[in-house]
Amino acid sequence: SDYPAANVDEEIAAELAERIRSGSLSLLMIGGWESFEGCDGHWHGTPLAEVLPVRISDKDDRRNIDRPTFVQCQVSGHPVTVNLPWAERPPLIGGFNQVEAKSDARVLLTAEIHDARLTSSGYELSPAKSHPLLVVQDLGNSRVAALMTDLAPHWVGPLVDWGPERVVARANGGEQIEVGSDYARFVEQLIGWLVAR
C-alpha cells in the first residue's frame, strides 16, 4: 500500500507485468492514499495496471468515508473468504480507492456504504452505495488481486481488529503489533491464495 508508481522504473514494471502474464509471478495491490491512482499513486496507464483485475481511474480515486461502511462477502466459498464470519460479524472500514472491476475478474468483497440516522428507537441504517473492495483473477499460472482498502491505519479502520481474539506478532527488528484473529486469518488466506500456484 502507499507505493507510488514513480518508485518503480517503467522498464522494471513492464518486466514484472510480463512475468505475471507468463505465469511466473503473482501480484497484490493494496489500497491507500498513494495506491491505485490516489493522490500520488499514479498507477493508471502503467504496465502493472494492465494486469490488475480492476480499471484504475485517471483521477484521484480516494474515498474517505464518514459513514458506516461494511465489508460484504460476495463469494463465500472462495479460498480467500472461506471460514470467516462475514454475515455474523461484518467488519467495517474507513476508506478505499474507487475502481471498476474488469468483466473477467471476480469481485469477492464489496464496500457497502450506509447512511445512518438516530431515531427514537435507536440507529437506523439504510444502504447508500456499493463498490468493489477485493477483486481477484486467475491468469493461467499467475494470480492477481486488488484490495482497495488499506491493511494498516487509517483506512483499514475496525477491520484490523476484526475477530474475538487478539493475535500478537513481531517481525525481526520491528515493533510488536496486535490485530484481530479474523483479520489475521483473512490476510493469511489472501496471501496463501496468491502464492498457491
User: pLDDT confidence of 2, banded at 50, 70, 90?
Assistant: confident
Question: CA-CA distance, 99 to 56, in Å (whole number)?
Answer: 5
Residue 135: CB atoms within 10 A of its CB come to 24
Please name the amino acid found at residue 149.
T
Per-residue pLDDT for 56 more than 90? yes
Cell of 195: 502464492
Any idea what the Cα angle at residue 42 is, between residues 102 and 131, rounded to 5°?
A: 40
| E strands in the chain | 27-30, 54-55, 62-64, 69-73, 95-97, 100-101, 106-119, 122-139, 142-147, 166-170, 176-180
User: pLDDT confidence of 124, banded at 50, 70, 90?
Assistant: very high
Q: Please give the pLDDT value at position 66.
A: 95
**Using the 8-state DSSP alphabet, how is residue 56 labeled?**
P
Give the end-to-end CA distance of the chain in Å, rounded to a whole number: 23
Per-residue pLDDT for 192 more than 90? yes
Residues 95-111 have pLDDT tens digits of 999 999 999 999 999 99
Residues 67-94 have pLDDT tens digits of 999 999 999 999 999 999 999 999 999 9
Residues 113 and 65: beta-carbon distance below 8 Å? yes
Per-residue pLDDT for 173 more than 90? yes
Q: Please give the pLDDT value at position 175.
A: 93
Mean pLDDT of 33-41: 94
Q: Please give the pLDDT value at position 154.
A: 86
Q: Please give the pLDDT value at position 15.
A: 98
User: pLDDT confidence of 140, banded at 50, 70, 90?
Assistant: confident
pLDDT more than 70, % of the chain: 99
Q: Does domain 5-195 bear CATH number 3.40.50.880?
A: yes
Residues 146-171 have pLDDT tens digits of 999 999 888 999 999 999 999 999 99
Any idea what the Cα angle at residue 187 is, between residues 183 and 190, rounded to 5°?
A: 140
User: pLDDT confidence of 183, banded at 50, 70, 90?
Assistant: very high
